[in-house]
Amino acid sequence: MDRRIYRPVTVAFALCVALPGLPAGAGSATTATTASAACDPAFQPYGLIGEKWRASGGENGVFGCPVRAEYGFAGNSARRQDFLNGQIGWSPALGPRAMVRTYRSGDRAVFQWGSTGRDWDYFEVRYSFNDGAVKRYTVKRRDPWNGGFSRPITGPGPEPLGSNRPLHYFSVRGCDHSGLLQAGSDCGGWSLPGRL
């Protein structure tokens, strides 16, 4: 048998195994690669939304897989992407890198925001359930730049006709207490609305 025929194949195989940068288990089916294959690659999150999605666990996190591509809005530079279990949006009216997120956690509809890029005294949240009356809530800050708010997933009223789940709408803005001689508050702009 001529060993020269097999030597290049053996060397090539050894180089493939020894090359740095190849992921561990490349070529074998793992839970991570199988789970990633479940998400449509055409909707792959990118930029700030992609960073937040990956930091939250990606397709295995609270949001799950994206269900459509990232999209924008006429009249402002905000961006949003819808996921199986919620939304992530970039809301520059709230801060240059401010992200708003909605998702379900157990029996709660959760709305989170941050980082606002500014030290606010408190936050004000607008909330509506099933296109009902908009209510405002004063929310203490978790820290000067981030906050969160949640409501029961079933909400305060009946679900809309033809709907398979409740609809929650959220928006937030940061506010500062006015000085001793001034009444009221000084508040920033409202964030991009979040929906669940």
* DSSP assignment string, 41-68: GGG---HHHHHHHHHTTGGGSSS-SBSS
Residues in the chain: 196
Q: Mean pLDDT score of the chain, rounded to an integer?
A: 78
pLDDT at 157 over 80: no
**What value does the mean pLDDT take over residues 34-49?**
82
73/142 Cα distance (integer angstroms): 29
pLDDT at 21 over 50: no
pLDDT band at 61; cut points 50, 70, 90: very high
Instruction: Dig out the tokens for 116 from the structure.
Output: 């606002």
Q: What whole-number percentage of the chain has pLDDT above 70?
A: 72
Q: What pLDDT, on a 0 to 100 scale, did the predictor assign at position 9?
A: 39
Task: Kindly state the average pLDDT of the residues 8-17.
Answer: 37
SS3 24: coil
Q: Which residues contact 128 (CB under 8 A, 6 or more apart)?
A: 134, 135, 168, 169
